[in-house]
Amino acid sequence: MIAVGVDIGGTNSKFGFTDREGTVIAQSRMKTQGFPDTRSFLKELKKQIESIHSLDEVVGIGFGAPNANFYNGTIENPPNLPWKGIHPIAEEAEEIFGKRCVITNDANAAAMGEMVYGKAKDMRDFVVLTVGTGLGSGIVINGELVYGKHGFAGELGHTLVSFNGRSCQCGKKGCLETYVSATGIRRTVYKLLADYTEPSPLRSISFDELDTKSITEAAAAGDKIAIEAFRYTGRVLGMKLSDFVVHTDPEAIFLLGGLSKAGEHIFAPAQENMEKYLMPLFLDRKIQLQPSGLKDDDAPILGASSLVWKYLVKKE
Amino acid sequence: MIAVGVDIGGTNSKFGFTDREGTVIAQSRMKTQGFPDTRSFLKELKKQIESIHSLDEVVGIGFGAPNANFYNGTIENPPNLPWKGIHPIAEEAEEIFGKRCVITNDANAAAMGEMVYGKAKDMRDFVVLTVGTGLGSGIVINGELVYGKHGFAGELGHTLVSFNGRSCQCGKKGCLETYVSATGIRRTVYKLLADYTEPSPLRSISFDELDTKSITEAAAAGDKIAIEAFRYTGRVLGMKLSDFVVHTDPEAIFLLGGLSKAGEHIFAPAQENMEKYLMPLFLDRKIQLQPSGLKDDDAPILGASSLVWKYLVKKE
């Protein structure tokens, strides 16, 4: 038995075949843009998927996508995808592929991937934060993803850091993801470059070109601006983690995505500040912030395909 | 079939008999203090309970208490109760009463009461905030109370409002309950009395004697300090509610306890500020902050007794 995982992203959609243990048997990607509607996208996706491996032994297809609603099997008004409105992707895909399909948002898929293939196999209560362009999160309680009344639970990237803080693409100000994300740390670097006079290799990189990788490399080479940017980012993250912990009392919090590759530059200040602001009752429990057990490159496909084992295949 | 609910409080313990519909058939109270251990307290409790009604038809006894751990049936190092250490109350009570017993913390009991008897009968996802001396909370997801890995989920009173904020009895600074609670609004009134020169009837009341009732009465009579104290309290509450909502996406948030009796003085600014700081995606869902459906005086007993129907009696 094998599963297909599809991660629909703003620019590219990644897809791959995986077995029950999380081995990615084959994978590829295609442009998400350039299709007038979701049906034409899905038809091309089927062609591309079949070009790398047969669908014969596939028991189901899991989709991860921004603004996906698990309850309805839809994608709803995604700001970063080319299709406006509400689209019944799961139903359309079942018809086109002739396979059972399930969809959830990308951060929930990542959390499911951690539970099915990663470090959370034996955990029933944990949180996964996916820190890419934005900050997504999936909350698991009693071994089940938390969807909430309307299917929107786990929008931790939009908790409040500061009343009059940075403008967020969601329309609010001061959201966590304006500080803790690839975009957030870029903004922090630019603020530090403006505020201080230290020379830094980052001064030669434009805002548009600056990415987490450059900042990570600069920090590793001892650049003060880069190190301070991670320290600041970790402090903001840690402060909000202390709030997340008292909500659902998780066993662990996993970090996935570009920012997590900075290692101790981000984990140390985040853990330190989480504990600093955490209700003392929880301190004995040593709740660890740790890197995800999924390889970053495979994580979107693994997250999406894990939905198949969780929701479509009966437990042995 | 009837149930007994016991709310163990720092000063008094309330107890009562209730039917499945939430009618309190008989109730009374006794001092919690003055017993060397939990067994002697429970033995006296049994006498007192039997003095108001027979235990014959009772199917189980539910306990609500601070620092109660549902998983273990224990009370663990409660700061406001006379017994230090860890006490297996559920087991001791089963032995003494000869009835099945269940215990959880008082805020979780309140949430269960709302689901069994109150306004959340048809809800599967909601939050109850109990605003008394402190701020407790019970989170329900998919119709189940959230306990978390260690049984401590829902400590929303200890989320962070301000880094260098007011000292909290938990050992931290700036916790929500130092602003939003009977103690919190009292601190706010005193700060306002210090900062401004407006005459106010509250200037004649000492800090120790000032209670939510006096502040509510002053606000109702148009006192500017009292009105501003509620506005400030509501603003802080609303701001943090916007964070709670994006965690678990509840259908409603219920407020129980002294502060909720101030009506629109607290509900209006809290709702307004929740919406002001809420991720726009959630605004269409009109998540309402509303008063609990349980009568304040009966709520602790109803909350505790509701555990019996939820956990000890098989569904018909």
- Residue (of A3, A117, A14, A8) closest to A60 by Cα position: A3
B146 touches chain A (CB under 8 A): yes
Vertex B287 angle, CA B138 and B237, to 5°: 60
The per-residue pLDDT for range B167-199, each reduced to its tens digit, is 998 899 999 999 999 999 999 999 999 999 999
CB B132 within 8 A of CB B303: no
Determine how many CB atoms are found less than 10 A away from the CB of residue A85: 11
Q: What is the pLDDT of residue A315?
A: 58
Average pLDDT over every residue of B238-248:
96
Same domain, B127 and B251: yes
CB B248 within 8 A of CB A141: no
Average pLDDT over every residue of B133-146:
94
pLDDT at A104 over 60: yes
Q: What is the pLDDT of residue B256?
A: 95
Residue B315 — very low, low, confident or very high, per pLDDT cuts 50/70/90?
low
Vertex B24 angle, CA B23 and B28, to 5°: 175
Interface of A with B in 99-128 (CB under 8 A): 123-125
pLDDT at B316 over 80: no
Same domain, B212 and B84: no
pLDDT at B40 over 80: yes
Average pLDDT, chain B: 94
Q: What percent of chain B has pLDDT over 90?
A: 86
- Residue (of B227, B274, B288, B305) closest to B49 by Cα position: B305
Under 8 Å CB pairs connecting chains A and B tally to 138
Same domain, A162 and A143: yes
Same domain, A100 and A128: no
Q: Rounded to an integer, what distance in angstroms lies between the CA atom of residue A286 and that of residue B63? A: 29
Q: What is the pLDDT of residue B200?
A: 97
Same domain, B202 and B89: no
Q: Rounded to an integer, what distance in angstroms lies between the CA atom of residue A21 and that of residue A113? A: 11
- The backbone torsions φ and ψ at residue A243, rounded to the nearest 5 degrees and listed phi first, read -70, -40
Same domain, B105 and B145: no
Q: What is the ipTM of this complex?
A: 0.89
Give chain B's length: 316
A282 touches chain B (CB under 8 A): yes
User: Residue B53, SS3?
Assistant: coil
Please report, for the domain that includes residue B147, its CATH number. Answer: 3.30.420.40
Q: What is the pLDDT of residue A295?
A: 87
Q: Rounded to an integer, what distance in angstroms lies between the CA atom of residue B12 and that of residue B4? A: 16
Same domain, B24 and B146: no
Q: What is the pLDDT of residue A278?
A: 94
Q: Rounded to an integer, what distance in angstroms lies between the CA atom of residue A121 and that of residue A241? A: 22
Best probe of the A interface among B104, B127, B149, B239, by most A CBs < 10 A, is B149
Q: What is the pLDDT of residue B241?
A: 97
The per-residue pLDDT for range A132-181, each reduced to its tens digit, is 888 999 999 999 999 999 888 999 999 999 988 999 988 999 999 999 99
CB B96 within 8 A of CB B220: no
- Residue (of B196, B230, B200) closest to B213 by Cα position: B230
Same domain, A66 and A80: yes
Same domain, B46 and B173: no
The per-residue pLDDT for range A79-101, each reduced to its tens digit, is 778 898 999 999 999 999 999 99
The per-residue pLDDT for range B218-233, each reduced to its tens digit, is 999 999 999 999 999 9
Q: What is the pTM of this model?
A: 0.92
Record the tokens describing residue A292, joined without a space.
């995800």
What residue numbers bound the domain in which B88 lies? 2-114+297-312
Residues of A in contact with B282 (CB under 8 A): 150, 152, 155
pLDDT at A316 over 60: no
Helices in A53-137 by DSSP H: which ranges? 89-97, 106-116
The per-residue pLDDT for range A30-55, each reduced to its tens digit, is 999 999 999 999 999 999 999 999 99
* Contact assignment for A170 to B285 by CB distance below 8 Å: no
The per-residue pLDDT for range B57-97, each reduced to its tens digit, is 999 999 999 889 998 999 988 877 889 899 999 999 999 99
Domain count, chain A: 2
Same domain, A132 and A67: no
pLDDT at A246 over 60: yes
Determine how many CB atoms are found less than 10 A away from the CB of residue B305: 35
Determine how many CB atoms are found less than 10 A away from the CB of residue B50: 12
Q: Is the dihedral of CA A220, A223, A224, A226 positive or negative?
A: negative
| HSE (side-chain half, CA atoms, 13 Å) at B83 | 24
Same domain, A128 and A143: yes
Same domain, B302 and B287: no
Q: Is the dihedral of CA B123, B126, B131, B135 positive or negative?
A: positive
Q: What is the pLDDT of residue B80?
A: 79
Q: Find tokens 């989320």 and name the residue.
A: B159
Instruction: Report the amino acid identity of residue B119.
Output: K
Q: Rounded to an integer, what distance in angstroms lies between the CA atom of residue A264 and that of residue B218? A: 54
